[in-house]
Amino acid sequence: MRAGCAIAEEAQATCRSALAELSWGWTGTAAEAALGSGERILADTIGAVDQGIELATSVLDATVVVVTGAVELKRIIDSFVALAQQAAPALAVPQGQLMLITAAIEHISQGLGVLTRVVAALGELTATVTALIPEPPAGAAIPGEGDTVSASSGTLSTGSGEISTMGGSAPGAGGGVAVTLPDGTVAHAPNPTAAEAVRRALDQQGTPYVWGGTTPGRGLDCSGLTQWAYGEAGLEIPRLAQEQDIGTPVDSGSVLPGDLAVWDGHVAMVVGGG
């Protein structure tokens, strides 16, 4: 990452020189638009370089935390092993056994202290890295019947039955709970819980995608969104996408607003209207 940042910095410097030369010999509205666009690109490049350096620094810091913790744990283990070897002759009597058990408890306590510090430090670094990850492009639409969604490690055919219903049976004509969709059309969820979950999920449109995110309005990932939406509707569901394939599996032609489609570590909520 640092090498890539260095290349980007060199490219940025070369392009800035080119823009400076261009500004001397090209004037007019088109020139101003082109130069302005070039300046924005250069600014974005520097921003990406700064971001890359921060990410690399965080990864290095995390490496130091883990390696330091591993060294401390090895020292604690070696200390106990040496003590146990020295105490071997005394282990035939209860006093010797009690001494060794006491020493074991002390060493385990020290190890847990190291583990706690490492986990806390990695948690802070994880938050730093998460904040640096750029927002991805707008998400793809929920697939229609017969479509196949490509994922990072495979595909899901929506006709495969790998869609779970969270709401129960399909409502009859004119039945169900009405939900107004962003385009103004009305869909009907099978019950108030599913309808409220859909409304809550739709309220989060515009919230940045953040891997591991669980904070509405600030950052959510796919399963964070669905868990939060259903939690707001009064139904607790698991945190991870692969754990949210609960409920009754249905085929793609029978999905209702509030149903969840789960595939390859991803989850989406059906809202209705296709």
Residues of the chain with pLDDT under 50: 139-163, 167-174
The pLDDT tens digits of the residues spanning 164-214 come to 555 444 444 346 899 999 888 999 999 999 999 999 999 999 999 988 889
CB 167 within 8 A of CB 190: yes
**What was the pLDDT predicted at 165?**
54
Distance CA 111, CA 118 (A): 11
CATH of domain 148-269: 3.90.1720
CB 209 within 8 A of CB 135: yes
Distance CA 260, CA 163 (A): 6
Q: What is the pTM of this model?
A: 0.42
**What was the pLDDT predicted at 223?**
94
Q: Domain residues of the chain, as ranges?
A: 2-132, 148-269
Helices 29-87, 2-25: inter-axial angle, 10-degree rounding: 170
CA 42 to chain centre: 29
The pLDDT tens digits of the residues spanning 44-54 come to 888 888 888 99
**What was the pLDDT predicted at 160?**
33
User: CA 245 → CA 17, 21, 145, distances in Å?
Assistant: 55, 59, 19
Q: Which amino acid is at 56?
A: A
Phi/psi for 191 (5° steps) reads: -160, 170
46: nearest Cα among 12, 75, 74 = 12
